[in-house]
Structure 1
Amino acid sequence: MRTLLIFLALILGCGRALAADGAAFNPIGYSPDSRYFAFEQYGVQDGSGFPYWDVFLIDLKANEWVKGSPYRAMIESEEAKPSAARDQARAAADPALKQLGITAPAELLAANPATEAVPERERLTFDRWYQSLGSRSGEKSALGVRFELSVEKLPLPRPAACPEGDGESYGVKVILKDLQTGTSRAIFEDKSIPASRNCPAAYDVAAVVAQAGLPMTDRLVAVIGVYSRGFEGLNHRFIAVPFTISD
């Protein structure tokens, strides 16, 4: 019995390192003029069991990373705590966060974490503004501000680092639909697959973020989940797609 318990403890202890990993997402905030947005993703790397923490700064107007971003940290020890990686990444990003004045809080309008069991992960419905009775599924918005974000996979040439025979890699198209009028438009569409996505096999809509408080702006962020090939399966990471409600 003692031998069996030791064996089970070893198996359970290794389980985290042997499974594919899904990063957690946290919005850090906006600059006061809503031009810049920062978020972080973090978790424990599949295969190695090392904790990692990434801080991203996005120029929403130019739709590109701020120079120097992302700020990444990984602690190469299975015994290390995620907080150690967090402290390193945030210390590296802190000067840029202060320089850009990223102090305005972010508000989650909707979120669909990878651990939530839902029938379809490729779309997410949200209201732009709070309604006094809450956002009730299936009902029209009294304020006329209900929208749906969805993603479609795009067959595109695989990045050079993605080997043949390891499955297809896809780009993504992100679509915003006004549920009051029924009109839709693409807010983002890949022309090629960035190497930074590490052979993406699928996508989902993870969250919708807006700047909290007054004055309210129309510069929102769609947080798109990227499922890419890892050591023990598909890992889950995030990209940020800026958009506005109006065309």
Structure 2
Amino acid sequence: MDLLPCAASVPIAAEDFEDASSTAAALMTHHPNLSVIKENGQHVLQSNYVGDAHGSERNYANIPLKDGYEELSLSFDVKFEKDFPFVRGGKMHGFVPDRSVTGGQALTPEGWSARIMWGAEGVPLTYTYHQDQPGKYGEIGTALSDAAFPTDEWFAVTLHTRLNTEDGTPGFTRLYLNGTPVREQTGLTFRSVFSPESLISRFVIVTFHGGNDPSWAPKNADGSYRTVQSWFDNIAIYDQPCRRMGPVVP
């Protein structure tokens, strides 16, 4: 778990939202709840979480990578608004193959997903669909610390994921908060076939509260649904193990 800092590596893909003509930024802002705004002189991706009967509206972007990979590290900076209502939990970014499995879908031999979640009170979680999961829905990893995602300040997140390989080596996914390991899943069989379609080929933003019922939703004191926000910046993907030690955004 003692990985080198990502600052020592060159990413295979990166987005800081400073180039208005960026294809990746355009894909990320296709959803109406995702937009680029300016904060303290820098452009960042704003996510509006619109509370509804399912938790909050599903904010989604699917970014294809230039190749397929067995191992990648995803790092980005994030800030939740002050006193962000984490409620019962919600989803964030992660990795998938060409045809992912999420949302309680039936597993396929080449289908899986590895994503980040927040839990109640901002507990950082890994959330993975894999061939040996015990139920219909994805599995949450093991805690490595009692850390929680802060609000009203920028922090760095890294998700390091390695698929199981044809020689029998199991896969894993591990989550870091400001360079400190906070959650992991090991011994994973992400895929039961080793086709190109089973490789990590896409970075996804799938961020929302839920779950899938009103108990997950952000609400006002009178019980009406509420819209809350988070911001993301300096998204980078590396084809080697690394961890971001702190936010690039001041």
**Which TM-score bucket, shorter chain as reference?**
under 0.3
Select the structure with the greater relative contact order (CA < 8 A; seq sep ≥ 6): 2
Give the TM-score taking structure 1 as reference length: 0.28
More helix by share: 1
More strand by share: 2
Please identify the structure whose Cα radius of gyration is greater.
1
